[in-house]
């Protein structure tokens, strides 16, 4: 069944005032006349952008990825209702048996998208190959990574990203074999020096996990892991909830890293009222928009990608750039050819926004109209 959306559509070539037609799962056609980005919101027409792509999702709607069972279906519905059309289910540092249980539960959802939910592209293995001195909110179960274990876990569910601390003995040499096996390696939860970050990039690491958080910071005589990212990275994640990273640091990263992209690092508390929730094996508390461990450590977020887009625009980014930072760059980073932009023949993954408020009006995942989720 064909459907058409009239408004201002963001294409790879810029905004068009016109119509996007979709048939089944795909975009059938986009027609219209060019519009300057500066004029788009003043037209008052619905704005059509690519659906959001989130590479770092721990939970949502009261459910946690590590729970197993049908938790991921509920998580995918919550985030789809906020405009995320594709995501990576992100595991916590945990004993191998717990990770295996989570991956077995994720596997069928990676093979087939549940109605009403985002596409689960695979898994982001955020731990356990991290530095025990930079756990952040991860449980104290860090250990040395091996190719054999990564392949064994991948056999249970498709792992797309692996976060790794390169300064741990043996990890620098592991990056090449992980790349050759098809994994993308990100640097994160690291106490490494600038030189460790540069060496990891030279070995084939592709990005950085939640830039600035749980890594050595920038000092003018010791640039740290943040300095390596700002000086050399093409891609990096960033959490733009305005709690994890100061707006000034966000602006610096946006200027320095060409394809910086946004993630939510969302927890079970996303889309839920204040209270206590699970993050892997730990209890976290949501209060005043943040999620923390009992000792006050930030523990993921309650961010959704529609709010991430609005936050970027609020920081002064043009809407087309904010869209790339919440969709296209992450899709390119993952090597996705069929989504992350609006173009004839690609998946009909898209969001329709009110021109004035940038609030969601419609979401389509692979051509399916998704029920929106109201903010709590």
> What is the Cα–Cα distance from 296 to 193, expressed in whole angstroms?
26
Q: What is the number of structural domains in the chain?
A: 2
121 in Cβ contact with 107 (< 8 Å): no
Residue 126 lies in a domain: yes
Phi/psi at 186 (5° precision): -115, 145
Q: Clarify whether residues 78 and 60 are in a common domain.
A: yes
> What is the Cα–Cα distance from 206 to 189, expressed in whole angstroms?
15
Q: Clarify whether residues 141 and 270 are in a common domain.
A: yes
Instruction: Give me the mean pLDDT over the 134-150 stretch.
Output: 94
Q: 8: domain range? A: 2-48+342-369
pLDDT band for position 253 (50/70/90)? Answer: very high
> What is the Cα–Cα distance from 296 to 302, expressed in whole angstroms?
15
With 60 as the cut, is the pLDDT of residue 1 above it?
no
Give CA 172 to chain center in angstroms.
24
Helices (H) and strands (E) in the chain, counts: 11, 20
pLDDT digits (tens, 9 = 90+) for 19-78: 999 999 999 999 999 999 999 999 999 999 999 999 999 999 999 999 988 899 999 999
Catalytic residues: 265
pLDDT digits (tens, 9 = 90+) for 193-218: 999 999 999 999 999 999 999 999 99
Name the average pLDDT for the chain: 96
Predicted pLDDT at 47: 98
Q: Clarify whether residues 32 and 61 are in a common domain.
A: no
Predicted pLDDT at 296: 85
Instruction: Give me the mean pLDDT over the 211-229 stretch.
Output: 97
pLDDT band for position 352 (50/70/90)? Answer: very high
> What is the Cα–Cα distance from 195 to 208, expressed in whole angstroms?
15
364 in Cβ contact with 348 (< 8 Å): yes
Residue 375 lies in a domain: no
Looking at residue 269, which CATH number applies to its domain? 3.20.20.140
Residue 123 Cα distances to 89, 172, 251, 305, 346, angstroms: 5, 22, 29, 18, 23
Instruction: Give me the mean pLDDT over the 250-258 stretch.
Output: 98
Residue 76 Cα distances to 23, 262, 267, 274, 374, angstroms: 23, 18, 12, 21, 15
36 in Cβ contact with 320 (< 8 Å): no
Predicted pLDDT at 178: 98
Q: Clarify whether residues 71 and 211 are in a common domain.
A: yes
Q: Clarify whether residues 290 and 183 are in a common domain.
A: yes
With 80 as the cut, is the pLDDT of residue 329 above it?
yes
183 in Cβ contact with 152 (< 8 Å): no
């Amino acid at each position: 069944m064909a459907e058409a959306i009239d408004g201002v559509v963001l294409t790879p070539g810029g905004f068009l005032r016109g119509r996007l037609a979709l048939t089944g799962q795909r975009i059938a056609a986009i027609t219209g006349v060019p519009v300057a980005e500066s004029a788009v919101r003043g037209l008052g027409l619905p704005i059509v952008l690519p659906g959001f792509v989130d590479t770092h999702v721990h939970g949502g709607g009261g459910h946690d990825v590590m729970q197993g069972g049908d938790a991921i279906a509920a998580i995918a519905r919550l985030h789809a209702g906020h405009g995320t059309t594709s995501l990576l289910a992100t595991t916590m540092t945990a004993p191998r048996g717990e990770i295996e249980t989570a991956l077995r539960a994720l596997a069928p959802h990676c093979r087939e998208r549940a109605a009403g939910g985002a596409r689960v592209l695979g898994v982001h293995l955020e731990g356990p190959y991290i530095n025990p001195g930079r756990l952040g909110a991860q449980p104290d179960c860090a250990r040395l990574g091996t190719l054999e274990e990564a392949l064994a876990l991948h056999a249970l569910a498709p792992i797309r990203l692996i976060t790794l601390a390169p300064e741990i003995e043996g990890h620098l040499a592991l990056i090449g074999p992980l790349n050759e096996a098809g994994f993308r390696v990100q640097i994160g939860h690291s106490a490494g020096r600038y030189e460790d970050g540069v060496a990891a990039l030279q070995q084939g690491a592709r990005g950085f996990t939640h830039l600035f958080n749980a890594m050595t910071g920038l000092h003018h005589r010791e640039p740290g892991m943040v300095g390596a990212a700002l000086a050399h990275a093409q891609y990096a994640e960033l959490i733009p909830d305005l709690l994890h990273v100061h707006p000034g640091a966000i602006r610096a990263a946006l200027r320095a890293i060409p394809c910086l992209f946004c993630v939510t690092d969302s927890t079970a508390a996303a889309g839920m009222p204040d209270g206590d929730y699970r993050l892997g094996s730990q209890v976290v508390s949501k209060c005043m928009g943040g999620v923390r461990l009992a000792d006050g450590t930030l523990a993921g977020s309650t961010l959704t990608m529609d709010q991430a887009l609005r936050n970027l625009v609020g920081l002064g980014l043009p809407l087309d750039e904010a869209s790339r930072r919440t969709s296209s760059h992450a899709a390119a980073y993952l090597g996705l050819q069929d989504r992350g932009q609006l173009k004839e023949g690609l998946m009909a993954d898209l969001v329709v926004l009110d021109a004035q408020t940038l609030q969601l009006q419609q979401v389509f995942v692979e051509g399916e109209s998704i029920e929106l989720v109201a903010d709590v």
